[in-house]
Amino acid sequence: MKRLCLAVGLLAALFSTGLQAQVLDSHVQVPFDFWLGQKLMPAGGYFIFHEGNGAVLVRGEDGERTSNIFLAASLLSNKRPGEPRLEFTQYAYTYFLSKIWNIDRGFAVPKSSRERELARRKIPSKTEDITLATK
């Protein structure tokens, strides 16, 4: 019930902003399957959109079948501006999208229960970055 209320609230917020607020940030080719929230996203091409209200849409090139939307916490980089990139956390052979970086700011992807469980088990992890092709 809690998830349903959150999903309905998220959709209502998205539809209230209108399609004009949706901005294409970039395109990326991900060479491996990865988890985004509770959904396994297959390797392939993805478009990254952000909304003015903090929502981020990751949509596969094949359309709706491989898309996911989430509310992201905004991050500011204290380093000098770098290339836009996706940051993945890897546990063994399992990848989780953890951050999306533009030139000077980023978006933190909420951790799924699966990722929190792997971290709780203290399974060794590392990060892997993939550079984004901006519009």
Count of structural domains within the chain: 1
Q: Are 62 and 44 in contact (CB under 8 A)?
A: yes
Q: What is the DSSP string of 45-72?
A: EEEEEE-TTSEEEEEETTEEEEEEEEE-
What is the rounded average pLDDT of the residues 82-104? 87
Quote the domain boundaries for residue 120.
2-134
Tell me the C-alpha distance between 29 and 72, whole Å: 21
For residue 101, list its beta bridge partners.
85, 106
Checking if the pLDDT of 5 tops 70, the result is no
Q: Residue 23: how many CA atoms within 13 Å on its side-chain side?
A: 10
Checking if the pLDDT of 18 tops 50, the result is no
Mean pLDDT score of the chain? 79
Please give the C-alpha separations between residue 62 and each of 26, 42, 46, 52, 59, in angstroms, as whole numbers. Answer: 16, 11, 9, 25, 8
- pTM, 2 dp: 0.75
